[in-house]
Amino acid sequence: MCMRVTDHVILGQDLNPKMIEITVDGQKVPAKEGEPILAALLAQDIMVNRYTVKRNEPRGLFCGIGQCTDCAMIVNGKANVRTCITPAVEGMIVETQYGYGGANDVK
């Protein structure tokens, strides 16, 4: 389980953040307003963001700061969105990305 850090000696308490709802692969998922999509998913134990192009292998959080693209997903229909640097917004539609996610398909 990936628990949220709600009590911390240095960071203090984070007990009642404003929550919103996004949709991930058809399921409603709660998210803290403004947190990266990836963080909201992690808090629900969703670790896989995409499957690779050639071998269909699962990938998830790797760098967390927008450099590696392992957390790319389809967001509101747009593929290859780095979920670690994209804030969650109420009503956002997020889908696991397979290969190129339909965008820029290389035949």
Stretch that binds other proteins, among 18-26, 65-73, 99-107 (CB under 8 A): 65-73
Phi and psi at 85, nearest 5°, equal: -125, 20
Binding letters toward other proteins, positions 6-45, x by CB under 8 A: xxxxxx--x-------------------xxx-xx--xx-x
CB of 8 to other proteins, least distance (A): 6
* Pairwise CA distance, residues 44 & 99, whole Å: 23
Question: Both tokens of residue 71?
Answer: 């957390």
CB of 107 to other proteins, least distance (A): 25
Nearer to other proteins, 45 or 107 (CB): 45
Q: Is 15 exposed, middle or buried (0-12, 13-18, 19+ CB in 10 A)?
A: exposed
105 contacts: CB under 8 Å, gap ≥ 6: 99
Name the residues that contact other proteins, by CB under 8 A.
1-11, 14, 34-36, 38-39, 42-43, 45-48, 57-67, 84-87, 89
